[in-house]
A = this chain, B = another copy of it.
Amino acid sequence: MSASQGPDYDRLFAKGTPAATPRFTGFPKYNFVGGHNDPTRIPVAALAEAAAAAITREGAQLALYNMGQGPLGHTGMRDLVADKLKRHRGVEITRDDVLITSGSLQGLDLVNDLLLEPGDTVLFEELSYGGAISRVKKRGVTVVPVALDQDGMRMDALADALAALKAKGVTPKYIYTIPTIQNPTGSILPLDRRHRMLELAREYGVPIFEDECYADLIWAGMSTTPPAIYALDPAQVIHIGSFSKTLAPALRAAYAVAPWPVLSRLVSLKTDGGTGSVEQMLVAEYFGKHFDSHVNALTGVLNEKLATMVEAVEREFGAAAELFVPKGGIFLWLRLPPEVDVTKLVQPAAKRGIQFNPGPEWAVDPASAKSQLRLCFALPSKEEIKAGVAEFARVCFEETGIPKQSGNVANRPG
Protein backbone atom coordinates (compact mmCIF):
# COMPACT_ATOMS: atom_id res chain seq x y z
CA MET A 1 0.00 0.00 0.00
CA SER A 2 1.29 3.45 -0.85
CA ALA A 3 0.58 7.01 0.24
CA SER A 4 -2.61 7.48 2.21
CA GLN A 5 -4.93 10.24 3.30
CA GLY A 6 -3.27 10.26 6.69
CA PRO A 7 -4.84 10.07 10.12
CA ASP A 8 -7.78 12.17 11.19
CA TYR A 9 -5.64 15.00 12.56
CA ASP A 10 -8.61 17.12 13.59
CA ARG A 11 -9.50 14.42 16.07
CA LEU A 12 -5.93 14.22 17.35
CA PHE A 13 -5.27 17.91 17.97
CA ALA A 14 -5.15 19.05 21.59
CA LYS A 15 -8.04 21.13 22.89
CA GLY A 16 -7.60 24.81 22.18
CA THR A 17 -5.41 24.27 19.12
CA PRO A 18 -5.34 27.59 17.26
CA ALA A 19 -6.72 27.96 13.76
CA ALA A 20 -4.45 27.19 10.84
CA THR A 21 -2.26 30.04 9.63
CA PRO A 22 -3.12 30.87 6.03
CA ARG A 23 -0.44 30.71 3.36
CA PHE A 24 1.74 33.82 3.43
CA THR A 25 1.04 36.01 0.43
CA GLY A 26 3.36 38.89 1.14
CA PHE A 27 2.98 42.14 3.01
CA PRO A 28 0.18 44.59 2.26
CA LYS A 29 1.02 47.69 0.27
CA TYR A 30 0.49 49.92 3.30
CA ASN A 31 1.89 47.93 6.21
CA PHE A 32 1.17 49.84 9.43
CA VAL A 33 1.50 46.87 11.80
CA GLY A 34 4.25 45.04 13.62
CA GLY A 35 7.65 45.91 14.95
CA HIS A 36 9.30 46.19 11.56
CA ASN A 37 12.10 48.66 11.11
CA ASP A 38 13.25 50.88 8.26
CA PRO A 39 15.05 48.76 5.64
CA THR A 40 17.04 51.78 4.51
CA ARG A 41 18.53 52.08 8.01
CA ILE A 42 20.02 48.58 8.18
CA PRO A 43 23.81 49.10 8.12
CA VAL A 44 24.35 46.32 5.64
CA ALA A 45 28.05 46.82 4.96
CA ALA A 46 28.93 47.25 8.62
CA LEU A 47 26.91 44.19 9.59
CA ALA A 48 28.59 42.10 6.90
CA GLU A 49 31.94 43.21 8.19
CA ALA A 50 30.99 42.61 11.82
CA ALA A 51 29.70 39.12 11.05
CA ALA A 52 32.86 38.17 9.20
CA ALA A 53 35.08 39.55 11.95
CA ALA A 54 33.21 37.83 14.77
CA ILE A 55 32.98 34.48 12.98
CA THR A 56 36.66 34.61 12.05
CA ARG A 57 37.61 35.28 15.66
CA GLU A 58 35.15 33.04 17.54
CA GLY A 59 33.57 30.77 14.94
CA ALA A 60 35.22 27.54 16.01
CA GLN A 61 33.31 27.75 19.29
CA LEU A 62 30.04 27.37 17.38
CA ALA A 63 30.75 23.63 17.64
CA LEU A 64 29.67 23.86 21.29
CA TYR A 65 26.16 24.55 22.53
CA ASN A 66 26.07 28.20 23.59
CA MET A 67 29.64 28.38 22.30
CA GLY A 68 30.67 26.78 25.58
CA GLN A 69 29.79 29.99 27.42
CA GLY A 70 26.85 28.64 29.36
CA PRO A 71 23.10 28.96 29.13
CA LEU A 72 22.94 32.68 29.94
CA GLY A 73 24.32 33.33 26.46
CA HIS A 74 27.28 34.82 24.63
CA THR A 75 29.54 36.74 27.00
CA GLY A 76 30.13 39.59 24.57
CA MET A 77 26.42 40.01 24.09
CA ARG A 78 25.81 39.99 27.82
CA ASP A 79 28.57 42.57 28.30
CA LEU A 80 26.85 44.71 25.69
CA VAL A 81 23.57 44.52 27.59
CA ALA A 82 25.23 45.35 30.92
CA ASP A 83 27.08 48.29 29.38
CA LYS A 84 24.03 49.67 27.61
CA LEU A 85 21.84 49.39 30.70
CA LYS A 86 24.49 51.07 32.80
CA ARG A 87 25.06 53.98 30.46
CA HIS A 88 21.47 54.61 29.46
CA ARG A 89 19.15 53.05 32.03
CA GLY A 90 20.96 53.56 35.34
CA VAL A 91 21.29 49.82 35.92
CA GLU A 92 24.36 48.45 37.70
CA ILE A 93 24.82 44.83 36.72
CA THR A 94 27.38 42.47 35.21
CA ARG A 95 27.05 39.91 32.45
CA ASP A 96 26.17 37.33 35.11
CA ASP A 97 22.85 39.09 35.72
CA VAL A 98 21.77 38.86 32.07
CA LEU A 99 19.97 36.06 30.23
CA ILE A 100 19.94 36.38 26.45
CA THR A 101 16.59 35.38 24.95
CA SER A 102 15.37 34.67 21.44
CA GLY A 103 13.43 37.89 21.18
CA SER A 104 11.63 39.54 24.06
CA LEU A 105 8.64 37.32 23.25
CA GLN A 106 10.63 34.46 24.71
CA GLY A 107 11.26 36.64 27.75
CA LEU A 108 7.50 37.06 28.16
CA ASP A 109 6.97 33.31 27.80
CA LEU A 110 9.67 32.39 30.30
CA VAL A 111 8.44 34.82 32.95
CA ASN A 112 4.89 33.61 32.43
CA ASP A 113 6.05 29.97 32.63
CA LEU A 114 7.74 30.77 35.92
CA LEU A 115 4.95 32.66 37.63
CA LEU A 116 1.57 31.96 36.09
CA GLU A 117 -1.00 29.26 36.58
CA PRO A 118 -4.61 29.24 35.42
CA GLY A 119 -6.71 31.31 37.80
CA ASP A 120 -3.87 33.68 38.68
CA THR A 121 -4.20 37.44 38.41
CA VAL A 122 -1.86 40.03 36.90
CA LEU A 123 -2.06 43.79 36.49
CA PHE A 124 -1.55 45.48 33.12
CA GLU A 125 -1.80 49.00 31.83
CA GLU A 126 -5.34 49.22 30.39
CA LEU A 127 -3.83 49.57 26.95
CA SER A 128 -0.80 47.38 26.41
CA TYR A 129 1.12 45.23 23.96
CA GLY A 130 -1.36 42.89 22.29
CA GLY A 131 1.05 39.96 22.29
CA ALA A 132 1.52 40.27 26.04
CA ILE A 133 -2.22 40.48 26.73
CA SER A 134 -3.06 37.49 24.52
CA ARG A 135 -0.28 35.34 25.98
CA VAL A 136 -1.53 35.85 29.50
CA LYS A 137 -5.21 35.40 28.70
CA LYS A 138 -4.45 32.17 26.81
CA ARG A 139 -3.13 30.77 30.10
CA GLY A 140 -6.44 31.33 31.83
CA VAL A 141 -5.05 34.21 33.87
CA THR A 142 -7.17 37.20 34.87
CA VAL A 143 -5.80 40.52 33.65
CA VAL A 144 -6.81 43.54 35.71
CA PRO A 145 -6.48 46.81 33.78
CA VAL A 146 -4.95 49.88 35.41
CA ALA A 147 -5.84 53.29 34.00
CA LEU A 148 -3.32 55.24 31.93
CA ASP A 149 -2.93 58.94 31.30
CA GLN A 150 -0.48 60.90 29.15
CA ASP A 151 2.33 59.96 31.55
CA GLY A 152 1.66 56.23 31.67
CA MET A 153 0.16 54.11 34.42
CA ARG A 154 -1.77 56.13 37.02
CA MET A 155 -0.55 55.37 40.51
CA ASP A 156 -3.87 56.16 42.16
CA ALA A 157 -5.46 53.57 39.91
CA LEU A 158 -2.72 51.05 40.71
CA ALA A 159 -3.15 51.63 44.44
CA ASP A 160 -6.90 51.14 44.11
CA ALA A 161 -6.50 47.98 42.06
CA LEU A 162 -4.04 46.42 44.50
CA ALA A 163 -6.23 47.31 47.47
CA ALA A 164 -9.32 45.88 45.79
CA LEU A 165 -7.53 42.64 44.99
CA LYS A 166 -6.19 42.38 48.52
CA ALA A 167 -9.69 42.82 49.86
CA LYS A 168 -10.59 39.75 47.81
CA GLY A 169 -7.59 37.84 49.12
CA VAL A 170 -5.80 37.98 45.76
CA THR A 171 -2.05 38.58 45.43
CA PRO A 172 -1.33 39.36 41.79
CA LYS A 173 1.63 37.53 40.29
CA TYR A 174 3.07 40.69 38.78
CA ILE A 175 2.47 44.24 37.62
CA TYR A 176 3.33 44.31 33.91
CA THR A 177 4.41 47.72 32.72
CA ILE A 178 5.98 49.28 29.64
CA PRO A 179 7.15 52.44 31.36
CA THR A 180 9.46 53.91 28.75
CA ILE A 181 7.63 54.41 25.43
CA GLN A 182 4.46 52.79 26.56
CA ASN A 183 2.93 50.48 23.98
CA PRO A 184 0.68 51.74 22.45
CA THR A 185 0.43 55.27 23.87
CA GLY A 186 4.11 56.23 23.62
CA SER A 187 4.39 57.84 27.06
CA ILE A 188 7.32 57.87 29.49
CA LEU A 189 6.55 57.18 33.13
CA PRO A 190 7.95 60.00 35.32
CA LEU A 191 10.45 59.20 38.06
CA ASP A 192 8.08 59.90 40.91
CA ARG A 193 5.62 57.37 39.53
CA ARG A 194 8.40 54.79 39.22
CA HIS A 195 9.22 55.26 42.89
CA ARG A 196 5.55 55.11 43.83
CA MET A 197 5.05 51.92 41.79
CA LEU A 198 7.91 50.33 43.69
CA GLU A 199 6.45 51.42 47.03
CA LEU A 200 3.15 49.81 46.13
CA ALA A 201 4.85 46.69 44.78
CA ARG A 202 6.79 46.29 48.02
CA GLU A 203 3.74 47.00 50.15
CA TYR A 204 1.73 44.28 48.41
CA GLY A 205 4.60 41.85 47.80
CA VAL A 206 4.12 41.91 44.04
CA PRO A 207 6.98 41.84 41.49
CA ILE A 208 7.11 44.44 38.76
CA PHE A 209 7.57 43.01 35.26
CA GLU A 210 9.20 45.85 33.33
CA ASP A 211 9.26 45.63 29.53
CA GLU A 212 11.64 48.17 28.00
CA CYS A 213 11.39 46.98 24.46
CA TYR A 214 11.35 50.48 22.97
CA ALA A 215 13.26 52.37 25.65
CA ASP A 216 16.27 53.12 23.46
CA LEU A 217 14.27 54.93 20.78
CA ILE A 218 13.66 58.31 22.45
CA TRP A 219 13.28 61.51 20.47
CA ALA A 220 15.00 63.54 23.16
CA GLY A 221 17.87 61.04 23.44
CA MET A 222 18.31 57.75 25.23
CA SER A 223 19.64 59.15 28.46
CA THR A 224 16.97 61.79 28.97
CA THR A 225 14.47 59.35 30.43
CA PRO A 226 14.21 58.33 34.07
CA PRO A 227 16.17 55.22 34.99
CA ALA A 228 14.64 51.82 34.49
CA ILE A 229 12.45 50.76 37.40
CA TYR A 230 14.86 47.85 37.81
CA ALA A 231 17.63 50.34 38.54
CA LEU A 232 15.68 51.74 41.50
CA ASP A 233 15.12 48.42 43.28
CA PRO A 234 16.59 45.39 41.50
CA ALA A 235 15.15 42.81 43.89
CA GLN A 236 11.62 43.93 43.08
CA VAL A 237 11.79 43.90 39.29
CA ILE A 238 12.07 41.49 36.35
CA HIS A 239 13.35 43.53 33.43
CA ILE A 240 13.30 42.65 29.74
CA GLY A 241 14.51 44.50 26.68
CA SER A 242 15.52 43.91 23.11
CA PHE A 243 17.74 44.86 20.21
CA SER A 244 15.04 43.93 17.70
CA LYS A 245 13.74 47.47 17.63
CA THR A 246 17.09 49.24 17.52
CA LEU A 247 18.79 46.94 15.00
CA ALA A 248 16.47 44.52 13.22
CA PRO A 249 13.50 42.38 14.21
CA ALA A 250 14.54 39.45 12.03
CA LEU A 251 17.46 39.15 14.46
CA ARG A 252 16.21 37.49 17.63
CA ALA A 253 18.38 39.18 20.20
CA ALA A 254 16.80 40.22 23.47
CA TYR A 255 17.49 39.85 27.16
CA ALA A 256 16.09 39.42 30.64
CA VAL A 257 17.59 40.82 33.84
CA ALA A 258 16.29 39.67 37.20
CA PRO A 259 17.33 38.71 40.72
CA TRP A 260 19.26 35.43 40.58
CA PRO A 261 16.54 33.32 42.25
CA VAL A 262 14.35 34.33 39.32
CA LEU A 263 16.97 34.38 36.57
CA SER A 264 18.33 30.96 37.50
CA ARG A 265 14.86 29.49 37.09
CA LEU A 266 14.22 31.29 33.82
CA VAL A 267 17.39 29.50 32.67
CA SER A 268 15.93 26.17 33.78
CA LEU A 269 12.75 26.89 31.85
CA LYS A 270 14.67 27.89 28.72
CA THR A 271 15.00 24.41 27.23
CA ASP A 272 15.67 25.53 23.66
CA GLY A 273 19.32 24.54 23.40
CA GLY A 274 20.35 28.18 23.57
CA THR A 275 19.61 31.31 21.60
CA GLY A 276 21.31 31.45 18.20
CA SER A 277 24.95 32.33 18.73
CA VAL A 278 25.72 33.88 15.36
CA GLU A 279 23.11 36.56 15.95
CA GLN A 280 24.51 37.20 19.41
CA MET A 281 28.05 37.45 18.03
CA LEU A 282 26.84 39.83 15.35
CA VAL A 283 24.93 42.12 17.71
CA ALA A 284 27.80 42.15 20.20
CA GLU A 285 30.32 42.95 17.47
CA TYR A 286 28.34 45.67 15.72
CA PHE A 287 26.65 47.32 18.68
CA GLY A 288 29.79 46.94 20.79
CA LYS A 289 31.20 49.69 18.60
CA HIS A 290 28.23 51.51 17.13
CA PHE A 291 25.27 51.35 19.51
CA ASP A 292 24.93 55.01 20.40
CA SER A 293 25.64 56.38 16.94
CA HIS A 294 23.34 53.83 15.28
CA VAL A 295 20.47 54.47 17.65
CA ASN A 296 20.83 58.23 17.50
CA ALA A 297 20.71 58.21 13.71
CA LEU A 298 17.82 55.76 13.60
CA THR A 299 15.84 57.78 16.12
CA GLY A 300 16.22 60.87 13.97
CA VAL A 301 14.79 59.04 10.97
CA LEU A 302 11.94 57.57 12.98
CA ASN A 303 11.04 60.95 14.41
CA GLU A 304 10.83 62.38 10.88
CA LYS A 305 8.56 59.52 9.83
CA LEU A 306 6.38 60.17 12.86
CA ALA A 307 6.10 63.82 11.83
CA THR A 308 5.03 62.71 8.36
CA MET A 309 2.43 60.39 9.85
CA VAL A 310 1.09 62.97 12.29
CA GLU A 311 0.76 65.49 9.46
CA ALA A 312 -0.98 62.92 7.28
CA VAL A 313 -3.42 61.86 9.99
CA GLU A 314 -4.21 65.48 10.86
CA ARG A 315 -4.66 66.37 7.22
CA GLU A 316 -6.81 63.35 6.34
CA PHE A 317 -8.80 62.89 9.55
CA GLY A 318 -8.85 66.43 10.93
CA ALA A 319 -10.69 66.76 14.20
CA ALA A 320 -12.01 63.20 13.86
CA ALA A 321 -8.75 61.78 15.17
CA GLU A 322 -7.31 62.33 18.63
CA LEU A 323 -3.59 61.59 18.52
CA PHE A 324 -1.32 60.25 21.27
CA VAL A 325 1.93 61.61 19.91
CA PRO A 326 4.67 59.31 21.24
CA LYS A 327 7.95 60.39 22.83
CA GLY A 328 9.81 57.75 20.87
CA GLY A 329 9.33 54.35 19.28
CA ILE A 330 7.70 53.27 16.08
CA PHE A 331 3.94 53.66 16.49
CA LEU A 332 1.19 56.25 16.77
CA TRP A 333 -1.97 55.58 18.78
CA LEU A 334 -5.12 57.38 17.86
CA ARG A 335 -8.76 57.55 18.83
CA LEU A 336 -11.60 58.05 16.37
CA PRO A 337 -15.11 59.18 17.35
CA PRO A 338 -17.04 56.64 19.44
CA GLU A 339 -19.39 55.75 16.57
CA VAL A 340 -16.46 54.18 14.67
CA ASP A 341 -15.89 50.49 15.32
CA VAL A 342 -12.39 49.90 14.00
CA THR A 343 -12.81 46.14 13.84
CA LYS A 344 -15.27 46.76 11.01
CA LEU A 345 -12.57 48.59 9.07
CA VAL A 346 -10.12 45.68 9.07
CA GLN A 347 -11.49 43.86 6.03
CA PRO A 348 -12.33 46.90 3.89
CA ALA A 349 -8.88 48.33 4.61
CA ALA A 350 -7.20 45.02 3.78
CA LYS A 351 -8.94 45.03 0.42
CA ARG A 352 -7.30 48.36 -0.27
CA GLY A 353 -3.89 47.12 0.81
CA ILE A 354 -3.90 48.65 4.30
CA GLN A 355 -3.13 46.85 7.52
CA PHE A 356 -3.38 48.46 10.98
CA ASN A 357 -3.67 47.27 14.60
CA PRO A 358 -7.27 47.52 15.81
CA GLY A 359 -7.43 49.00 19.29
CA PRO A 360 -9.35 46.10 20.87
CA GLU A 361 -6.30 43.85 20.38
CA TRP A 362 -4.20 46.30 22.37
CA ALA A 363 -6.66 46.66 25.26
CA VAL A 364 -7.21 44.52 28.33
CA ASP A 365 -10.92 45.23 27.90
CA PRO A 366 -11.30 45.06 24.11
CA ALA A 367 -14.60 46.94 24.03
CA SER A 368 -12.98 49.92 25.72
CA ALA A 369 -10.77 50.52 22.66
CA LYS A 370 -13.39 49.94 20.00
CA SER A 371 -12.63 53.26 18.30
CA GLN A 372 -8.86 53.27 18.76
CA LEU A 373 -6.07 51.96 16.62
CA ARG A 374 -2.29 51.78 16.24
CA LEU A 375 -0.33 52.78 13.16
CA CYS A 376 3.33 51.79 12.89
CA PHE A 377 5.54 54.10 10.86
CA ALA A 378 9.06 52.62 10.82
CA LEU A 379 8.72 50.36 7.79
CA PRO A 380 6.79 52.42 5.21
CA SER A 381 8.45 55.26 3.36
CA LYS A 382 7.18 58.80 3.87
CA GLU A 383 5.36 58.55 0.55
CA GLU A 384 3.71 55.31 1.62
CA ILE A 385 2.75 56.87 4.94
CA LYS A 386 1.07 59.81 3.20
CA ALA A 387 -0.69 57.71 0.57
CA GLY A 388 -1.64 54.94 3.02
CA VAL A 389 -3.14 57.29 5.60
CA ALA A 390 -5.10 59.07 2.86
CA GLU A 391 -6.40 55.76 1.55
CA PHE A 392 -7.26 54.66 5.09
CA ALA A 393 -9.24 57.86 5.64
CA ARG A 394 -11.21 57.13 2.47
CA VAL A 395 -11.96 53.60 3.65
CA CYS A 396 -13.01 54.93 7.01
CA PHE A 397 -15.28 57.51 5.44
CA GLU A 398 -16.86 54.98 3.12
CA GLU A 399 -17.57 52.61 5.98
CA THR A 400 -18.57 55.09 8.70
CA GLY A 401 -19.07 58.56 7.22
CA ILE A 402 -16.03 59.69 9.22
CA PRO A 403 -13.93 61.78 8.62
CA LYS A 404 -16.36 64.20 7.05
CA GLN A 405 -13.51 66.21 5.61
CA SER A 406 -9.95 65.38 4.47
CA GLY A 407 -7.61 68.30 3.96
CA ASN A 408 -9.84 71.17 2.89
CA VAL A 409 -12.16 68.93 0.96
CA ALA A 410 -15.42 67.52 2.23
CA ASN A 411 -15.66 63.77 1.72
CA ARG A 412 -18.52 62.58 -0.42
CA PRO A 413 -19.92 59.11 -0.95
CA GLY A 414 -17.98 57.66 -3.93
Contact = CB atoms under 8 A, between A and B. Distances in A.
Given A64-B250, A105-B273, A48 B59 contact: yes
Contacts of A61: 39, 250
A265 interface: yes
A71 B39 CA distance: 19
Interface string A64-80: 11111111100000000
B18 A248 contact: no
Contacts of A102: 102, 252, 272, 276
Contact of A42 (B17, B63, B65, B66): B63
A107 to B, nearest CB: 11
A403 to B, nearest CB: 30
A226 interface: no
Which 10 interchain pairs have the tightest Cβ spacing?
Answer: A24-B70, A6-B235, A20-B264, A250-B277, A62-B248, A44-B59, A51-B51, A18-B268, A37-B63, A21-B267
19 contacts: A1-B202, A6-B235, A12-B171, A19-B265, A20-B260, A36-B63, A39-B63, A39-B64, A41-B63, A44-B60, A48-B56, A61-B250, A66-B250, A67-B250, A102-B102, A102-B252, A103-B273, A106-B272, A249-B273
B24 A71 contact: yes
Contacts of A55: 44, 47-48, 51
A6 to B, nearest CB: 3
B7 A236 contact: yes
A14 B103 CA distance: 23
Contacts of A159: none
Interface in A14-39: 14-15, 17-24, 26-27, 34-39
Nearest to A74: B250
A173 interface: yes
A8 to B, nearest CB: 6
Contact of A12 (B62, B109, B115, B264): B115
B35 A59 contact: no
Interface in A266-293: 267-269, 271-279, 282
A263 B390 CA distance: 38
Given A14-B116, A66-B250, A275-B252, A261 B37 contact: no
A207 interface: yes
A274 B276 CA distance: 12
Given A7-B205, A36-B63, 10 more contacts: A4-B198, A6-B235, A7-B201, A20-B260, A47-B62, A61-B250, A64-B250, A102-B102, A105-B272, A276-B278
A15 B119 CA distance: 13
A117 interface: yes
A156 to B, nearest CB: 19
A409 interface: no
Interface residues of A, number: 113
Nearest to A138: B271
A300 interface: no
A260 B34 CA distance: 25
Contacts of A232: 2-3
B115 A13 contact: yes
A52 interface: yes
A234 interface: yes
A181 B113 CA distance: 34
A63 B115 CA distance: 33
A17 B265 contact: yes
A5 interface: yes
B40 A60 contact: yes
A273 B252 contact: yes
Contacts of A44: 55-56, 59-60
Contact of A259 (B6, B117, B244, B275): B6
